[in-house]
Amino acid sequence: MSLEDFEYLLNKVSPVIMKRDTQLREAIPARVRLAVTLRFLASGDNYESLHFLFKISPQIISKIIPEVCLALNQVLKEEIKVIK
């Protein structure tokens, strides 16, 4: 994926997937959340493998991927075609 394509997706989806920092921890940036999800979708890597690559726990990754996939479907619904 080109940098321009990634930035396009990030601009569309970041308002939906962005989280806020709390007093206990910093939020995982939308850029990283999107990168983790795209890596998972492109490679099929398991959560443990993604954990070593991105330094995010597999438990958090298991929450990030479905959230970002839903957000991608939501913001790109006019641009993607689902074939049943």
Residue 66, in any domain of the structure: yes
**Structural tokens at position 35:** 């990168």
Determine, yes or no, domain membership for 20.
yes
Smallest CA-to-CA distance from 56 within 75, 40, 72, 73 is with 40
Contact yes or no for 11/70 (Cβ under 8 A): no
83 within domain boundaries? no
**Single-letter code of the amino acid located at 47:** Y
Domain-located, residue 39: yes
Domain that holds residue 41: 3-75
Query: How many independent structural domains does the chain possess?
Result: 1
pTM of the model: 0.88
Q: What is the pLDDT along the chain (84 residues), one digit of tens a residue?
A: 899 999 999 999 999 999 998 899 899 999 999 999 999 999 999 999 999 999 999 999 999 999 999 999 999 988 877 777
Any domain includes 82: no
Which of 24, 29, 15, 22 lies closest to 71 in space, CA to CA? 15
